Amino acid sequence: MTLKVATWNINSVRLRIETVRRWINEAEPDVLCLQETKSPDEHFPREAFEAMGYRHMMTHGMKGYNGVAVVSKVPLDAHSTRGWCGKQDCRHGIVELPGGIELHNLYIPAGGDIPDRALNVKFAHKLDFLDEITGWFSGERKSDKPMILVGDLNIAPLEHDVYSHKKLLKVVSHTPIEVEKLGNVQNSAGFVDAVRHFVDPSQKVYTWWSYRAPDWDTADRGRRLDHIWVTPPLVDRLRGYQITRATRGWEQPSDHVPVMVTLDI
């Protein structure tokens, strides 16, 4: 069977539930991982997702900030969550998909505006978060375990993951230290970038466009902040990918767009 797994920073699931419904009707993912849900678990719109056929859910949310969720047409087992850097700020949810595939849904801290750990506690938090999850994956997981890691990782690692490599080298999300540390996370369990498995690194790919640019589509100053990675046992099972850029132009959009991969399980 094939499985379509998607990730989307929705920037408030309750505010944008109709946007989610519209995209689901078009793309028909089997599993949708959301970040920045901004909803306590008791207020998560479960009934709306159940009505759309997503009867299996893992929610890990808080009021007004952060939050991750997985909604699925297929059964989800072994739900768990993890906190990092001494915080319980709802950034990491874990479920098991059919076939024993472990799915990690992550929302990595954005890191503020100043790329200096000494001057910016948010940037320091981001770097520490990356170090902690690198250590955890290295110590607790092996590359031969079938895993999928998805989410808003808030880093565009490659030169053509941003509209201008030169201009963004000193901008949070594309600085060398962030790229290095995200690479450490990726290497910690041998993760393979599923989208770049299909798209050559020489080609521009974006998943985020700032709200500050009213002409976002024309200017096209994007960044690829949203990722899907798989461990080696799943690489040969990858069958395709989809990035739905059009959602950025819908009414009341998220500044991120959905990313989806199809794989055999």
Q: What pLDDT does 213 receive?
A: 85
Among 178, 187, 184, 177, CA closest to 225 = 178
**Domain 2-264 classified CATH 3.40.50.1370?**
no
**To 5 degrees, how large is the angle CA 71–CA 74–CA 75?**
90
- Domain ranges in the chain? 2-264
Identify the residue whose tokens are 């981001």. Answer: 126
Judged by DSSP in three states, 2 sits in strand
Q: What pLDDT does 160 receive?
A: 98
- pLDDT lower than 70: segments of the chain: none
